Each structure stands twice: as structure tokens, then as C-alpha cells.
Amino acid sequence: MPFSSLTDPIYLARAEAALERAWAKLKPSFPEGSNEQERNNLAYIVASLVPLALDEEDLAQRAIDRFREKA
């Protein structure tokens, strides 16, 4: 589970909200059938960036940028 390392409830809530926001922007660009794997990859990116982000919006944008760099 990508967020299992997050013990702070605020970080966890921020990560979940940012994942939903980022996924909503990225999902339409993926072919059918690859969504679950791509979302999981994005979740790990979000989890790794939580301590650096200012808020959910910043976290979502950082995750999108990092995801696209790795693609």
C-alpha cells in the first residue's frame, strides 16, 4: 500500500486528496486496462512527495509533474 508509511493523519488526508486530484487529470490520457497500474504508480509518487508539498493542490501538481517525467 503506497500510503502505509504515512502515520500523520494530516499527511494521509493530504495524500489521498492529492491522489484523487492528480488522477482526475491524468486518467483520461491512459488506454483502457492500464488504469490500475498507473494509478498505483501515481500513488507511490504522491506518498514520496507529501513532506515537500505545501497543500493538496501543490502535492497533486508535483505528483503530476514527476509522473510525466518518468513516463
Categorize the per-residue pLDDT at 33 as very low, low, confident or very high, splitting at 50, 70 and 90: confident
Q: What is the DSSP letter of 39?
A: H
Angle of helix 56-70 relative to helix 35-49, nearest 10 degrees? 120
Question: pLDDT tens digits, residue range 13-30?
Answer: 999 999 999 999 999 998
Rounded-to-integer distance, Cα 59 and Cα 22, Å: 9
Residue 33, phi-psi category: left (phi > 0), alpha (psi -120 to 50), beta (remainder): left
Residue 55, phi-psi category: left (phi > 0), alpha (psi -120 to 50), beta (remainder): beta
* Cβ–Cβ < 8 Å for 15, 35: no
Can you give the pTM of this predicted structure? 0.92
